[in-house]
Amino acid sequence: MGGFYGVAARRSCVDEVFYGTDYNSHLGTRRAGMAFIDADGCFTRQIHSLENNYFRTKFEDDLKDFHGNTGIGVISDTDAQPIIINCHLGKFALVTVAKINNTNEIEQRLLKRGIHFCEHGTAALNPTELVGALISEGATYVDGIENVYRNVKGSCSMLLLTPDGIIAARDALGRTPVLLARKGDAMAVSSESCAFPNLGYHYERDLGPGEVVLIKADSEEVLRKPGEHQQVCAFLWTYYGYPPCDYEGRNVDAMRYDTGLEMGRDDKTDIDFVAPIPDSGTCMALGYAAGIGKPFKRGIVKYTPTWPRSFTPGTQSRRELVAKMKLIPNPSLIKGNKVMFCDDSIVRGTQLRDNVSDLREAGAKEVHIRISCPPLIYPCRFINFTSSKSPMELIARRVIARLEGHDPADPATADWEPSAELLQRYATTGTPEYKALVEEIRKELKLDSLQFAPIETVVRSIGLPKCRICTHCFDGSSYDYNV
């Protein structure tokens, strides 16, 4: 995914952008960058890889080289940014949190118009540079941002660092968050609200879907009013969000607790205690323990000294190894007990299968799993939560194929495409197809019991109308593209 942070102040903001950007580190693992503009309109920028190190370690030595009262930073799971662009609108630095599904289509159109793109070390086009080119087509910054909204299929939120201040623009359907905060001599903008308090900022509001604002040290100007339609990602609460963060006025940990509480109240399973699979399963497990009336214990502990971050590397083999290395079962608590473990999701099933094996080896008498979202039936098309290249990478889709008589491993049936109506039956809580899907996943993972949070529970726990929440991964119901 990715996250960004920006500050407009009446004094140097270098340290605040540095630490504020760092508070977005849980949102990405590949690259990060910062850019500043000084009183003379000069830009300074630095980009580093994060694949073998952490943001603070990479950028601490650069702080002495940055100057300016206005600056932006980004943590990216994709491309190198910020990009600095000079066009008829002026000179600006750009960061994005985006997933662009039609990159080639836009690239070819722009190339035919004589637009050129720079090389960035790989064969792939830098998506942030593509967004910059679309902005440059506009008669104004707002016109250019609207051009992005019209052309990008997927999602795109962005910050533009200009001589006049920071232009913040939230995705056209508000799929990813952009939040504003203020203190006496400065304003800040961030993907995550947890970046504000320790830097002395007080949260003001979330930008609305498609809203564009210009922030300066002492002012905020709305350049484009928010749209009426919203599709904010449900996984911001279930998975991505850091526990103290709020989106749309709803706290991440409060949502997770309420999900667990509601599920626990309806659960009659005979267990000895409830335990989380760290980290995003922790508050769900607290709620579940309260709901089911059983103790909460840490049957699995995350090894934070060297595995502090929630994301894992890009290759599947390395993901599997890291997933095993960073989570340590506690046999003294687990041995001989019937334990209910709470986790955020099951994507491919590989990590959970390994966890269950480890728990059995630690002496668990029974292993029960509760998941704080419904089965993932569709790959994410909007913020890249599931980076699956094929739906068949999802354990739910593989199981559906088998239940319908198609072996995903058989080349003769590998291209089988289920109808939307069939998938809807599997996605609908309580149908015979839904129950069969959950039971087959349970058997494949060798669990004593398995339950997923119903989509109705997730929506209630978030507290927004379902029409404002993207639940595409669960039921395929979201808008196809930004319009």
d(CA 129, CA 127): 5
Using CA of residue 420, residue 422, residue 427, residue 431, what is the dihedral sign?
Answer: positive
d(CA 427, CA 449): 19
**How confident is the model over 121-136, as a mean pLDDT?**
86
Split at pLDDT 50, 70, 90, the class of 482 is very low
86: helix, strand or coil = strand
Q: Is the pLDDT of residue 208 over 70?
A: yes
| pLDDT of 191 | 98
First to last CA, the chain: 21
| pLDDT of 77 | 85
* CA torsion, ordered 446, 449, 455, 461, to nearest 10 deg: -120
Of 45-54, 101-110, 270-279, 341-350, give the lowest mean pLDDT range: 45-54
| pLDDT of 414 | 66
Who wins on pLDDT, 325 or 69? Answer: 69
408-426: per-residue pLDDT in tens?
777 776 678 899 999 999 9
Residue type, 407: D
Split at pLDDT 50, 70, 90, the class of 30 is confident
356-374: per-residue pLDDT in tens?
999 999 999 999 999 999 9
**How confident is the model over 116-143, as a mean pLDDT?**
87
Q: Which residues have C-beta within 8 Å of that of residue 465, sequence separation ≥ 6?
A: none
Split at pLDDT 50, 70, 90, the class of 310 is very low
Cβ(174)–Cβ(230) below 8 Å: yes
Q: Do domains 2-230 and 250-475 have the same CATH topology?
A: no
Cβ(89)–Cβ(136) below 8 Å: yes
Of 22-26, 37-41, 477-481, give the lowest mean pLDDT range: 477-481
DSSP class of residue 467 equals G
| pLDDT of 326 | 81
| pLDDT of 428 | 97
Cβ(274)–Cβ(298) below 8 Å: no
Who wins on pLDDT, 15 or 381? Answer: 15
Q: What percent of the chain has pLDDT over 90?
A: 80
d(CA 94, CA 83): 5
Comparing CA positions, the residue from 191, 187, 163 lying closest to residue 177 is: 191
The architecture (CATH level 2) of 2-230 comes to 4-Layer Sandwich (3.60)
**How confident is the model over 421-447, as a mean pLDDT?**
97
| pLDDT of 457 | 98
Count helices and strands (H / E) in the chain.
16, 23
Q: Is the pLDDT of residue 139 over 80?
A: yes
Split at pLDDT 50, 70, 90, the class of 219 is very high
Cβ(4)–Cβ(74) below 8 Å: yes
Cβ(301)–Cβ(328) below 8 Å: yes
Q: Are strands 273-276 and 338-343 parallel, antiparallel or unpaired?
A: parallel
Q: Which helix (H) or strand (E) holds 155?
A: strand 154-162
Q: Whole-number mean pLDDT of the chain?
A: 92
| pLDDT of 425 | 97
Q: Which helix (H) or strand (E) holds 473?
A: helix 472-475
Who wins on pLDDT, 309 or 23? Answer: 23
| pLDDT of 15 | 97
**How confident is the model over 135-148, as a mean pLDDT?**
98
| pLDDT of 481 | 45
Who wins on pLDDT, 12 or 120? Answer: 12
> What is the domain partition of the chain in residue ranges?
2-230, 250-475
| pLDDT of 480 | 55
What are residue 168's phi and psi, to 5 degrees? -110, 130
Fold of 250-475: Rossmann fold (3.40.50)
Cβ(213)–Cβ(223) below 8 Å: yes
**How confident is the model over 33-42, as a mean pLDDT?**
95
Count of positions (residues) in the chain:
483
Q: pTM for this structure?
A: 0.93
Residue in the block written with tokens 């605040």: 16
d(CA 314, CA 221): 39
Comparing CA positions, the residue from 33, 41, 36 lying closest to residue 78 is: 33
| pLDDT of 304 | 72
| pLDDT of 409 | 79
Max avg pLDDT among 51-60, 251-260, 299-308: 251-260
Distances (CA, A) of 401 to 139, 335, 346, 423, 433: 50, 36, 17, 10, 12
| pLDDT of 129 | 95
228: helix, strand or coil = coil
Q: Is the pLDDT of residue 331 over 60?
A: yes
d(CA 277, CA 269): 19
Who wins on pLDDT, 213 or 414? Answer: 213
444-466: per-residue pLDDT in tens?
999 999 999 999 999 999 999 99
Q: Which residues have C-beta within 8 Å of that of residue 267, sequence separation ≥ 6?
A: 288, 291, 292, 370, 451
Q: Which helix (H) or strand (E) holds 129?
A: helix 127-136
